[in-house]
């Protein structure tokens, strides 16, 4: 078993419940973590035997480009695609943070973390 993390994926996207968020957009940071059996890759040294973290990042970017009101929706879409595309994944978590959210007060970020285990 092993863990693959891709941290601090920085993106600009247009999520949020307020109409102006669909126009102005915001900066986001995404952190992902997947658990999978990495035994074969640890011996073969072959990319085909592991979870390609480039593809993990691409899925995040693709889903962040599809507008949603709630970050929960985006996080779930990301994880659902991870489980559909990579049968080796047994657990995944996605944390999406909106940087400088348009809420009252001095707030650096708000974030949503969604986790799922393969049943």
User: Which are the catalytic amino acids?
Assistant: 98
How far is 95 from 3, CA to CA, in rounded Å? Answer: 16
Cβ distance 56 to 3 under 8 Å?
no
C-alpha radius of gyration, the chain, whole number: 16
């Amino acid at each position: 078993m092993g863990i693959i993390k891709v941290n601090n994926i920085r993106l600009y996207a247009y999520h949020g419940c307020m109409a102006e968020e669909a126009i102005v957009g915001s900066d986001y940071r995404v952190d992902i973590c997947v658990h999978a059996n990495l035994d074969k890759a640890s011996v073969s040294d072959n990319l085909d035997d592991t979870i390609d973290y480039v593809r993990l990042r691409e899925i995040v970017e693709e889903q962040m480009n599809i507008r949603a009101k709630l970050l929960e929706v985006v996080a779930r879409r990301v994880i659902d695609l991870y489980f559909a595309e990579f049968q080796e994944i047994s657990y995944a978590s996605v944390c999406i943070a909106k940087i400088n959210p348009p809420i009252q007060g001095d707030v650096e970020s708000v974030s949503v973390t969604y986790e799922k285990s393969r049943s």
